[in-house]
Every structure is written in structure tokens, then in C-alpha cells.
Amino acid sequence: MAEIAIIGGTGLATLKNLKIKRREVIRTPYGEPSGPLLHGELCNTDVVFLPRHGRGHTIPPHMVNYRANIWALRETGVQKVIAVAAVGGIRQDMEPGRLAFPDQIIDYTWSRMHTYFEQDLSHVTHVDFTDPYSPELRSVLIESARSLQLEAVQDGTYGATQGPRLETAAEINRMERDGCAMVGMTGMPEAALARELELGYACCAVIVNWAAGRGPGVISMDDIEASLAVGMEKVRRLLETAIPMAAGCSA
């Protein structure tokens, strides 16, 4: 049984080197996940793959059923999650095409279903979230990138915005003052829900554009797609090393 899952983000709706063995449809108390869980093998390691935005990329970030996705992964026996996510670069070293492994999060999202603690209110559980990402899984990502000599930024605060629109330049300035190094729309509540269910969770971010006001002009979808293609090829290579390594670590 696979104990590790990959949540695929924009540009990673399929994993071509994943040998799919079965598809599992899971219904959860929180509704439907983004699609069936794809059970397969990546480099001889059992893994579960779930494209966050659905197979045809039809679910925008603010409509993803994060609770159902994380619940379904836990239900099938997963203990560790590597989440792939496209982001915009705020800090100077966050150049499009690079990978980044965030170590902190600031949540700017609103009105998303962000907790499992809402039905049985006999006890309210305040989970520790001081370090939102699993240090062990982050080390696996950092080590894998190093061994493959992939250009990757090893830390940074991920600012999670509501979307689907991109930010204004002023919003990005504020996020920079807050300490954000990158901005994306899917990091929360995914990471917090994984923590509530005690899953190890780390994020492999792919920088696909300069955040608003940080690049030479307006953000173009063509430029994003070009960086996505470069970045996701790196992610595929990274995962071939990281997944077998992560299967052996305690997260």
C-alpha cells in the first residue's frame, strides 16, 4: 500500500512516468475529491497521485475541495504528501523556471473550508502549526534537487492568496513587507488540513512568473506557460529521486 502521495498542481495533471495500476473513487464526509486517486508505481515505489485541479484542469484554486482531497488520501492509507504548486516569485532569488521548497506560510485566503474541527465541537483542537511543512520531507526535496543539480531555492515563506485573479502590485508589496518570498493560490488550507490529519506534508513550488510589479510588464499567460513547461520537467526529474527517498524517511 502506498504511504506517499503526490498532489499535482497546474501543469502537472499527469505524471507520464507513473505506472498506473488502479483508480480509486473515494467519497468523503466532505464531498468529492478532485478526482479518483491514481495508485501506481514511480521508480519502483508505490505512490498515489491526485491532480488538485482535476484531470482536465477544470477546478480553480478557490473551488478545490481541499478537505475531501486530504481526507481521501488519509483514507487510502497515505502518511506523507508532496504537494506540487505553481507560484509567482516575490523575493529576488525566486526566478521563473526555478523550484523552491517553502518553509513557512502566511494565509491570505478567505471563506475556504479550512478545518475538520467543526462537527464534533465537544473538544476544539488547536493543532500546532509552528512549522507548517515536514522538515524530513523538505530535506528529501532539498537533497534530491542537490543530487540532480537542479536550480532550487531552499527556503521562503509561501503567501497563499484567494485567487483566481492575480494580485495587485500593492498587494505584492505588502506581502513582501510581511516576509513572503513567493505567492500561490493553493497552499492553504491544504497544508493545515494535512496537519489536522497528522500527515507529513511538504511543498515543491515551481516559480512560473514574477509576481505583480516584480517583472518588466503585465503577467502574460504565454510567459507563465513557458516557465511551467521548464519547471514541471524539473519536477518530474526531482520526483523520480525524491519519491523513493521519501518512502524511506519518517515524516
Query: What does the binding site for ligand HPA look like in residue numbers (CB under 6 A)?
Result: 86-88, 161, 166-167, 183-185, 208-209, 211
In the complex, the smallest distance separating the C-beta of residue 176 from ligand HPA, rounded to whole angstroms, is 13
Q: Give the residue with the Cβ less far from ligand HPA, 213 or 244.
A: 213
Amino acid (1-letter code) at residue 57: H
Cell of 164: 483566481
Q: Give the residue with the Cβ less far from ligand HPA, 37 or 172.
A: 172
In the complex, the smallest distance separating the C-beta of residue 220 from ligand HPA, rounded to whole angstroms, is 12
User: Do the Cβ atoms of 53 and 9 come closer than 8 Å?
Assistant: yes
In the complex, the smallest distance separating the C-beta of residue 215 from ligand HPA, rounded to whole angstroms, is 9
In the complex, the smallest distance separating the C-beta of residue 9 from ligand HPA, rounded to whole angstroms, is 9
Residue nearest to ligand HPA (CB): 88
- Beta bridge partner(s), residue 47: 40
In the complex, the smallest distance separating the C-beta of residue 170 from ligand HPA, rounded to whole angstroms, is 14
In the complex, the smallest distance separating the C-beta of residue 228 from ligand HPA, rounded to whole angstroms, is 9
In the complex, the smallest distance separating the C-beta of residue 36 from ligand HPA, rounded to whole angstroms, is 25
Q: How many residues does the chain have?
A: 251
Q: Give the residue with the Cβ less far from ligand HPA, 20 or 63.
A: 63
Q: Give the residue with the Cβ less far from ligand HPA, 34 or 209.
A: 209
Determine the distance from the C-alpha atom of residue 243 to the mean position of all C-alpha atoms in its chain, rounded to a whole number.
Answer: 15
Q: Give the residue with the Cβ less far from ligand HPA, 107 or 167.
A: 167
Q: Give the residue with the Cβ less far from ligand HPA, 87 or 193.
A: 87
Q: Give the residue with the Cβ less far from ligand HPA, 190 or 196.
A: 190
